[in-house]
Amino acid sequence: MKTHALSNRRSLLAAAALAMILPGATACAEEGETWESFKARYMQPDGRIVDNGNGGVSHTEGQGWAMLLAEAFEDRETFEKVWTWTNANLARPDVRLFSWRYDPTAEPPLTDPNNATDGDIFIAWALLRASERWRSEDYARASAEIRGAIGRGLITQIAGRSVLLPGLEGFAGADGVTYNPSYFVLPALKAFAQMDPAGPWQATIAGGLELADLALFGQSALPSDWVFIGVDGRLAPAAGRPPRFGFDAIRAPLYLVWGGEKDRRQVRSIAALWRAGFKDDKRSPAWIDVMTGEVAPYPLSNGGAAVAALVLADVGIAKWRVEEPNYYSSVLQLLAAVARKDLGRKRIGL
């Protein structure tokens, strides 16, 4: 199976995670991330979101997250800036999707034309929510175009299930496909299904929920960051990548809970791991090898703790510790906050 540079992006997060933790730092910060502090740290005046943990690059994931956050925090000016930059700089000329990585130090800055499906999903979902909030036909039209491209090019049939491919290229082969559980953004897919009941979304939701119950590995029954799905239905951690419940898979339970599926087996398994790990002012490790049980020598970041607090329905565990400001940790804190807000308002999807 062809590999692609897109699959290496979370390898960079392992190094970035080390920078999130100050050695020996256990003191609590006064507060977690806020939308205003996020913008001040990571957004440039033109709307580009800077991933400071990965050398200052930008990617569709970050742009889509920022658009979703801007809508949730009712910040139309920022939403428009981020969307305008994204559409001008990352839109592909051949299909209504987006090139996933932008490196301002490279020439040309689009160093990889492939898309990242979760980035496209968040962009489309943010536009859809924004079209409802601000009554914008332009946002609604753009969202519909992107949703159509996702439905046509990024959903495949494998072993009797409809599943999301992580990108247009590099993830499907004769023997099966590579799947990323954290790209299954359930509340977004539910919103898409609400807008287009005859589309592929209900089948894709069903396939993803099946995998959330079945693609669990090791003694603790955890999802790995990347999963191989064979044409015969075999499920295994994807070859060539560390078999970890790590920096990708931490988002999988966030999206399931956000989408109203807190009782799924995947969520229960992860909740059990975290419940055991958050004791005596200690945090669970940042990753665990699902096959060997080896754990990271450093704990979850503040962002990881915020996700755990949402999954465990226990805000008390997310005591903010001193850590170097890091884009990914900050994003996770804010996404967990928006998920909690949506669930409190019984807003799933739209």
HEC-encoded secondary structure of 298-344: CECCHHHHHHHHHHHCCHHHCCCECCCCCHHHHHHHHHHHHHHHHHH
Q: Taking the CB of residue 174, how many other CB atoms lie within 10 A of it?
A: 6
Phi–psi pair at 57, nearest 5 degrees? -75, 170
pLDDT digits (tens, 9 = 90+) for 204-247: 999 999 999 999 999 999 999 999 999 999 999 999 999 999 99
Overall number of domains in the chain: 1
Residue 24 — pLDDT band, cuts 50, 70, 90?
A: very low
Which tokens hold the place of 156?
Answer: 């495949």
Question: Residue 284's domain is classified under what CATH number?
Answer: 1.50.10.10
349 within domain boundaries: no
Is residue 24 in some structural domain?
no
- pLDDT of 348: 74
Backbone angles phi, psi at 324, to 5 degrees: -60, 135
pLDDT band for position 322 (cuts 50, 70, 90) = confident
Q: What is residue 325's predicted lDDT score, i.e. its pLDDT?
A: 87
Give the pLDDT mean for 320-349.
91
From the list 33, 118, 289, 342, the catalytic residue is 118
Maximum mean pLDDT: which of 11-15, 201-205, 319-323 = 201-205
Q: Give the pLDDT score at 279.
A: 87
Asked if residue 173 is part of any domain, the answer here is: yes
Q: b/e map of 232-244 (b: 16 or more CB within 10 Å)? A: eeebebbeebbbb
What's the mean pLDDT in 39-68? 96
pLDDT attached to residue 32? 79
Per-residue pLDDT band at 31 (split at 50, 70, 90): low
Note whether residue 274 is domain-resident: yes
- Per-residue model confidence as pLDDT tens digits over 135-193: 999 999 999 999 999 999 999 999 999 999 999 999 999 999 999 999 999 999 999 99
Instruction: Using the CB atoms, write b or e for 148-173: b if 16+ within 10 Å.
Output: ebbeebbbbebbebbbbbbbbebbbe
pLDDT digit string, tens, across residues 75-91: 999 999 999 999 999 99
- With 0-12 / 13-18 / 19 or more C-beta atoms within 10 angstroms meaning exposed / middle / buried, residue 344 is exposed
Rounded average pLDDT over 248-256: 98
Q: Say whether pLDDT at 46 is over 50.
A: yes
Q: What is d(CA 99, CA 37) in angstroms, rounded to the nearest whole number?
A: 27
Average pLDDT in the 114-136 region?
98
Provide the angle, in degrees to the nearest 10, between the axes of the packed helices 327-344 and 251-258.
20
The pLDDT of residue 77: 98
Tell me how far apart the alpha carbons of residues 131 and 271 are, in angstroms, rounded to a whole number. Answer: 35
Give the tens place of pLDDT for each residue, 103-121. 999 999 998 899 999 999 9
**Percent of the chain at pLDDT above 90?**
83
Q: Which residue segment(s) compose the domain that 230 sits in?
A: 5-15+30-344
SS3 263: coil
Tell me 131's DSSP state: H
Indicate whether 5 pLDDT > 60.
Answer: no
The more confident residue out of 157 and 4 is 157
Reference 166, options 289, 329, 5; nearest CA is: 5
Rounded to whole angstroms, what are the CA distances from 73 to 59, 169, 220, 311?
A: 21, 34, 37, 22
Q: Is residue 109 part of a domain?
A: yes
Whether the ω angle into residue 108 lies within 30 degrees of 0, i.e. cis, is yes
**What's the pLDDT score for residue 20?**
40
What does 45-69 look like in DSSP terms, one character per residue? TTSPBPBGGGTTBEEHHHHHHHHHH
pTM beyond 0.95: no
Q: Is 118 a catalytic residue?
A: yes
Instruction: Name the amino acid, one letter, at 221.
Output: A
Q: What band does 23 get if pLDDT is binned at 50, 70 and 90?
A: very low
61 catalytically annotated? yes
Report pLDDT for 26.
Answer: 34
| Residue 21 belongs to some domain of the structure | no
pLDDT at residue number 233: 95
Task: Report the largest interatomic distance among the alpha carbons of the chain, rounded to a whole angstrom.
Answer: 54
In a domain, 285, yes or no: yes
CB 123 within 8 A of CB 64: yes
> Is the confidence at residue 349, as pLDDT, over 80?
no
Q: Which of 33, 51, 61, 289 is catalytic?
A: 61
The answer to whether position 23 is within a domain reads no
